[in-house]
Amino acid sequence: QLKLVESGGGLVQPGESLRLSCIVAGGTVDHHDIGWFRQAPGKEREGVACVSRNGIDTKYVGSVNTRFIITRDNYRGTVLLQMTALQPEDTAVYYCAAAESHAAITCAPSDYGYWGQGTQVTVSS
């Protein structure tokens, strides 16, 4: 059974950066697509950035593709989300999730079956 643990969240000012880390353990990491998702208060959980099992294919959702970068290291079992130019609308709980690998990378929450507990990101002046 895969276990995912997120870290790196916190309180930052608009325009600043954060790097989130996800440690994936308990299974064959390189058989799974990994994604970052977020949920703001009163909103549905949404995809942010996802990466294929081999790290080659990525998918970004919405406006984050010019500000966020997702990378993975299967040897270390880690997936990083580097976030720059953060804005108040990026405030949310950020989750790391894993899915059995798909033919094409997907970043829909319903396609992911293994979830971490989340880490809070707050962007405020």
> Residue 36 in contact with residue 65, Cβ under 8 Å?
no
Local structure of 38: helix, strand or coil:
strand
Quick one: CA dihedral 54, 59, 60, 65, positive or negative?
Answer: positive
Half-sphere exposure of 19 (CA within 13 A, CB side): 8
How buried is 30 (Cβ within 10 angstroms: 0-12 exposed, 13-18 middle, 19+ buried)? Answer: middle
Query: What per-residue confidence (pLDDT) applies to 77?
Result: 94
- pLDDT-derived band at 1 (thresholds 50, 70, 90) equals confident
Residue entry with tokens 């058989």:
31
* Among 102, 116, 125, residue whose Cα is nearest residue 20: 116
Mean local confidence (pLDDT), 45-68: 94
pLDDT at 9 over 90: yes
Rounded to an integer, the average pLDDT of 12-36 is: 94
Can you tell me the distance from the alpha carbon of 121 to that of 94, in angstroms, rounded to the nearest whole number? 7
Per-residue pLDDT reduced to its tens digit, 27-41: 888 899 999 999 999
pLDDT 10s digits, 62-117: 888 899 999 999 999 999 999 999 999 999 999 999 998 878 899 999 999 999 99
Query: Looking at residue 76, what is its pLDDT?
Result: 94
